[in-house]
Amino acid sequence: MKEKNKGNYISLRESRKIIKENVRQMKYYESLKRRKLDISEYTVPMKNPDNIVEIEDLETCFFTDTGTVKSVHGVSFDVPKNKVVGVVGESGCGKSVTSLSIMQLVQAPQGQVVGGQIRFNSSELGYDDKGRKLAYDIVRTPTQEMYNIRGKDISMIFQDPMTSLNPVFTIGYQLDEVSFLHRPNLSKAEIKEYSIEMLKKVGISMPEHTYKCYPHELSGGMRQRVMIAMALAGDPKLIIADEPTTALDVTIQAQILELLRELQRTQGCSIMLITHDLGVIAEMADEVVIMYAGRVIEKGTVHEIFHNPLHPYNIGLQKSKPLITSSVSEPLYSIPGQVPNPINLPDHCYFMNRCNRCMERCAGAYPEMRQVSPTHSVACHLYADVAAENKPQSASGGSKKKKTPFAKNRVKYIEERRIEQRGAK
């Protein structure tokens, strides 16, 4: 008889083995958070002092009964000072887990940051003996020390304010709590005055009345403004906005985005904006990071990402966006296939089975991030030759390489796609 296909099922013995190993690893990573370390053990120099956060080879896993889920796998990107960086990707690609890793809010003990570095540029640390700017390595920072950073230097606007705000406490009580933690030198009356000032700053017309209200007495837009006020209360250097306009209608959405943009200009902070809406990214972001299956597949300036998309997944995302000129009779484009199983990720490119430009090389090792311009990089074998051309010449000099036939075909492909889009309009 032929053996039955087990598929993704595991035996009871295998499940017990996985659970035993999970418990061991979870205890290990939890013990690392409770260690009492000298500050020199969790501070590192910044590679570029003009960045507020540098994420390098970040690994975040969830230990489940069926295996280890690699939610974030080797993610690397920077958030410059006074800039808005947009993070785009479909549900489950690791956007929110990346942001929670920065805040040390990944759901423990199952969720753990197991590798990489998150360098946060803090003005309190100064410089090392070599003149390099020092930063906190959040991956190694103890939980007790993280309380002083979270909410004060890094704050987060969560996706659904109704579930983020406590329904049994007033808005004023919850706003005051932030100030009590991070501004201990203020009196109770001064903290109340400061909280009302924060409500005014986010455009709430009757801040004294709102201060006394409970969350259920406010509309969705008002609750989101309260969440922004709480994020600003500590005067942060980085605001992480995790889909802040998902549950709002279009009019309120525009007001919240305009408010975030205005606050970013006046406060001089950086914003990491996570969203599914490409239109929001095009309007708000200075730089864009595109994620797929826990990895960064393309990053560049907003102009490069939208006017010169390179990765087939990025091209598919932009084709799937409905336009006002789109025909009602034609179905909306969708990328075929499915995301690979995060427990058993393949060694080759994760997008290979869904890609319409797949070639033999794609079945090999996962493509490394290739630099196609000073600010634009992509993880795709299609651009290996283009990346090689853009490598700086050696000090000895030498003539420039001629454009390869592939590079010419790439330019031709992009031009043909632009013509098709103009024809569709």
CA distance 19 to 67: 8
**What is the pLDDT, as a whole number, of residue 193?**
93
Average pLDDT over residues 247-267: 85
AA letter at 109: P
Q: Calculate the average pLDDT of the chain.
A: 85
Of 130, 157, 125, the C-alpha closest to 141 is 125
**What is the pLDDT, as a whole number, of residue 377?**
95
Q: Cα(first)–Cα(last) distance of the chain, in Å?
A: 59
pLDDT classification of 263: cutoffs 50, 70, 90: confident
Residues whose CB is less than 8 angstroms from the CB of residue 182 and which lie 6 or more positions away in sequence, other chains included: 151, 152, 233, 234
**What is the pLDDT, as a whole number, of residue 2?**
45
Contact between residue 298 and residue 311 where contact means Cβ atoms under 8 Å apart? yes
pLDDT classification of 387: cutoffs 50, 70, 90: low
pLDDT classification of 390: cutoffs 50, 70, 90: low
**What is the pLDDT, as a whole number, of residue 422?**
54
pLDDT for 323 beyond 90: no
The token pair at 61 is 């896993």
Percent over 70 (pLDDT), the chain: 88
Helices 220-232 + 171-182 axis angle, to 10: 10
Contact between residue 248 and residue 280 where contact means Cβ atoms under 8 Å apart? no
Domain locations along the chain:
317-393+401-424
CA distance 193 to 204: 15
The token pair at 306 is 């939208």
Contact between residue 191 and residue 176 where contact means Cβ atoms under 8 Å apart? yes
Least confident of 200-209, 256-265, 292-301, 409-418: 409-418
* Cα torsion through 353, 56, 265, 87, rounded to 10: 10
pLDDT for 405 beyond 70: no
Least confident of 43-52, 99-108, 255-264: 255-264
pLDDT classification of 393: cutoffs 50, 70, 90: very low
Question: What is the per-residue burial (b if ≥16 Cβ within 10 Å, else e) of 153-191?
Answer: bbbbbbbbbeebbeeeebbbebbbbbbeebeeeeeeeeb
pLDDT for 406 beyond 70: no
pLDDT for 148 beyond 60: yes
**What is the pLDDT, as a whole number, of residue 163?**
83
CA distance 85 to 271: 6
Per-residue three-class SS string for the chain: CCCCCCCCCCCHHHHHHHHHHHHHHHHHHHHHHCCCCCHHHHEEECCCCCEEEEEEEEEEEEEECCEEEEEEEEEEEEEECCCEEEEECCCCCCHHHHHHHHHCCCCCCCEEEEEEEEEEECCCCCECCCCCEEEEECCCCCHHHHHHHECCCEEEECCCHHHHCCCCCCHHHHHHHHHHHHCCCCCHHHHHHHHHHHHHHCCCCCHHHHHHCCHHHCCHHHHHHHHHHHHHCCCCCEEEEECCCCCCCHHHHHHHHHHHHHHHHHHCCEEEEECCCHHHHHHHCCEEEEEECCEEEEEEEHHHHHHCCCCHHHHHHHHCCCCCCCCCCCCCCCCCCCCCCCCCCCCCCCCHHHCCCCCHHHHCCCCCCEEEECCEEECCHHHHHHHHHCCCCCCCCCCCCCCCHHHHHHHHHHHHHHHHHHHHC
CA distance 302 to 314: 12
Residue with structure tokens 């030198």? 185
**What is the pLDDT, as a whole number, of residue 397?**
43
